[in-house]
Amino acid sequence: MSESPARPFTDRIKTFMPRTSPLNTSQKQGMSDFAPKMQLTLAQGKLNPEAIFGRRAPLTIEIGFGMGQTLIKMAQAAPERDFIGIEIHKPGVAQLCFDAGTQGVTNLRYYSEDAVSVLEQAIEPGSVDTVQLFFPDPWQKARHHKRRFVRPDLIELVRQTLSVGGRFHMATDWAPYAEWMLEHMEAAAGFNNAHEPGEYMPRPAWRPLTKFEQRGHDQGHGVWDLIYVRVD
């Protein structure tokens, strides 16, 4: 008897909960003045970074960029790279567009779609240099752990997205989720820990320290970085 085909990633349990909030004045300007030039959609089909950015450059994708401050700082600090953010929270998208547009950041685009759908449907396998997942929802309750992004099926999706030698960079300020990430990534096929087996990575200089993170440090809270390299 033949096995039933696996469900596509997009049919599986969602890793996010949609939220709605009103836009402030700058965010409204971001959507009206800058979003049309920055937005990418699943309806456009497979992503062609060379056509979008007008060049061939290493590509970084950030999943869940929040209000976009870290992503913008990284794009500004690495003009030789191209960046794509994925975020469904409209105020965050709008703030990213306003800040990037008014600061003249040109190596940055975004999807306001389910990240799993974007990776599965829009990104060519093996085409991404870095996937970033900074401070994702830890889904603290045990019954919600199935919604965590760092889980075997999505780790494999990230692996397929990355080029060989590409990096999956995660960061969290929730210790149980850090332990979960480490356990699952150490067990994942096709990845090596970029630091030492079974250990966290000291925060790399290229990941900006956010105000939220600094406030946590001041209060004695920990933050854990993990970087894994695709090896096959």
Is there a catalytic annotation at residue 218?
no
Burial of 62 (0-12, 13-18, 19+ CB in 10 A): buried
Residues 69 and 88: their CA atoms lie apart, in Å, by 16
Q: What is the largest CA-CA distance in the chain?
A: 60
Q: How far apart are CA 222 and CA 178, in angstroms?
A: 10
Identify the helix (H) or strand (E) that includes residue 40.
Answer: strand 39-40
The residue assigned the tokens 């966290």 is 200
- Catalytically annotated residue among 137, 153, 173, 218: 137
Report the alpha-carbon distance of residue 174 to residue 149 in Å, rounded: 14
- Give the residue from 63, 70, 76, 156 showing the smallest Cα distance to 112: 63
| CA angle (15 as vertex; 10, 21 as ends), nearest 5 | 110
**What is the C-alpha to C-alpha distance for residues 64 and 142, in angstroms, rounded to an integer?**
22
For tokens 């149980």, what's the residue?
176
Inter-residue contact 112 to 42 (CB < 8 Å) = no
Which residues are known to be catalytic? 137
